[in-house]
Amino acid sequence: MRRLFLSATLVLTAWAAVAGCADRQVAEPGEPPEQLRVEVVATHPHHPGAFTQGLEVDGGELLEGTGLEGRSWLSARPLDTSTVPAVIAPDDRTRVDLDDDLFGEGITVAGDTVWQLTWKDGVALARDRDTLGERRRVDIDGEGWGLCARSDDLVMSDGSSELTFRDPVTFAERGQVTVHRDGRAVSQLNELECAEDGTVYANVWKTDEILRIDPATGRVEAQIDASALRDELPAEDAGAVDVLNGIAQIPGTDRFLVTGKYWPALFEVRFVP
């Protein structure tokens, strides 16, 4: 009986550890995150069949990467940011499909390279910035979710509470930081945006929440309630849309483009108190 009791205790202990790992305490609670919401500046059309995984504004274009095996693509279309609201071209300048066995994930631009993650395929794709054609593949461990570029490195998420820093040329890992809010780790970090002020924005999977993160410490500085965007979607599409996913800052402004998987709209927003 004692052996059975000890076995059961070990099982329960292990289960509790796994169940609680996403909410584990990793730092002393500090100043509470700032509470923000979205202010819609404009609503732009968005491909309703796009299973959006990554969104990026670069060089006067909007780049978008999508997912699902046999249905993943990467596209670039003209974007005029000189006006408010911005003007997004209705058609892609170029678009490339991924191999049918690959599940596309986050994207970012580093110099003349577009990096594109795959979910569980163990590779990251390096693409030509102009043509979007594939140049090479780099092996990666674990899952790929979100990706963004800072001045000297890339930041990657894998669905956990960790952000991984990578070399923008070789994609080699340089380090990690644990994202935490009120002293506890925050998991399910998904699509990322490296903002011009040095912070990192992250969608939290299966929620309508966006976090602003200090990448040096991992502390959540602000949490943004984006649930109001769902009220802006056409009522007839309510059952078809999936989770919020896709965030890109419009360079030189305080505005962001935000969308979701299968969303028929791309929202131009500000994050306000």
Give the gyration radius of the chain's Cα atoms.
Answer: 19
Q: What is the pLDDT of residue 138?
A: 98
Backbone phi, then psi, for 3, in 5-degree steps? -65, -40
Average confidence (pLDDT) over 200-218: 97
How many other β-carbons are positioned within 10 Å of the β-carbon of residue 38? 21
Quick check: helix, strand or coil at residue 242?
coil
- For the entire predicted model, the pTM comes to 0.90
Residue 106's Cβ-count burial label (10 Å; 0-12, 13-18, 19+) is buried
Tell me the pLDDT band of 90, cut-offs 50, 70 and 90: very high
| 2-21 CB burial, b ≥16 within 10 A, e <16 | eeeeeeeeeeeeeeeeeeee
For 239-260, how does the pLDDT look when each residue is reduced to its tens digit (9 = 90+)? 788 999 999 999 999 999 999 9
